[in-house]
Homo-oligomer: A and B are copies of this chain.
Amino acid sequence: MAKERSEQGARRLSGVFAPALTPFGADLAPDPRRFVALCRWLLANGCAGLAPFGTTSEANSLAVGEREALLDALLAGGVPADRLVPGTGCCALPDSVRLTAHAVRRGCAGVLMLPPFYYKAISEDGLFRAFAEVIERVGDDRLRVYLYHIPPVAQVPITAGLVERLRKAYPRAVAGMKDSSGDFGNTKAMLDRFGKDGFDVFVGSERFLLENLRAGGVGCITATGNVNAAAIAGLYDAWQGPEADRLQEELNVVRGLVEKLPVIPALKAIVAEESGDPGWSTVRPPLVALAREKVGPLLGDLRERGFAMSGLRG
């Protein structure tokens, strides 16, 4: 169920979000039909919302026009815009502006924005200007930006100093962040510094969900939300109860099984098996599909722990 809190008239997001996987045909073209089906299933099975075009979505392997078309397909397919936080941060300013403006025009709840990630060792001034230009050029009061910190992949970080400057300049637009650093110390520092002012922090893995909620964070946007959202939402709903630590440990076991493998190909292999649609295992280069011989053991290990994506098939 979508969680909402209200402050200063702005809708605030929380809960479990999945960076929805992107299905491709044998020709590597995106497949809107299967995309809509997965996204609808996710919203009906534990996800408060979706962050399509995240890292797990192979978003940076998609052309800008493909991303727009897929978002429009979701909306046409009955996915509510107010449950969507699409990824819109690109290396090129006009691409980020175009995708962000498109998402806002379509009524999306927010956008998840990577910093421009080609150049490394970029100054705080340069990153501030990068985000500021997008916000100014989109120029829409409805815009809610979630800054996307994922240094292991993007290499270009979202620092506390940058958040402070952006929050000061754009207190309404800069709504929160996704911290995929894998370092809860960083998440905690962001919460301590900005959480009380209504800056909403999602962690990038359910491994840190309970810690995040206890420290004042609002949820997680997590790759494994594509396959295990109901259980993750179970912890989200029960985090103040007596079972919370046990639920966290159970989530960690499933997460660990997936993380032993290349995560995106592994998630696609799981969806392929559970949906009965082997085409789901296709990835775009530079990724490589999970080796056939690894799929059986992964599914075996998961099912032994009661894992199932009920109702995805057919």
A residues with a Cβ closer than 8 A to B are: 28, 55, 60-64, 66, 91-95, 98, 115-120, 122-123, 125-127, 129-130, 133, 152-156, 284-288
| Contact present for B91 and A61 (CB under 8 Å) | yes
Across-interface contacts of A130 in B (CB, < 8 A): 285-286
User: In chain B, what residue has the closest Cβ to A137?
Assistant: B28
Given A28-B133, A61-B93, A93-B28, the answer on whether A153 and B118 have CB atoms closer than 8 Å is: yes
Residue contacts A-B, CB under 8 angstroms, 14 given:
A55-B118, A61-B91, A61-B93, A61-B116, A62-B92, A63-B94, A66-B92, A91-B91, A116-B285, A119-B287, A123-B286, A126-B285, A129-B285, A133-B285
- Total copies of this chain within the assembly: 2
Main secondary structure of the interface of A (DSSP, over half): loop
CB A19 to nearest CB in B, in angstroms, measures 14
Across-interface contacts of A154 in B (CB, < 8 A): 118
In whole angstroms, how far apart are the Cα atoms of A155 and B28 in the complex?
25
Which of B63, B120, B123, B133 lies in contact with A95, CB distance below 8 A? B63
Across-interface contacts of A118 in B (CB, < 8 A): 55, 60-61, 117, 153-154
Across-interface contacts of A120 in B (CB, < 8 A): 152-153, 155
User: In chain B, what residue has the closest Cβ to A119?
Assistant: B286
Across-interface contacts of A287 in B (CB, < 8 A): 119, 122, 126
Given A120-B153, A152-B120, A155-B155, the answer on whether A127 and B92 have CB atoms closer than 8 Å is: no
Given A118-B153, A120-B153, the answer on whether A126 and B286 have CB atoms closer than 8 Å is: yes
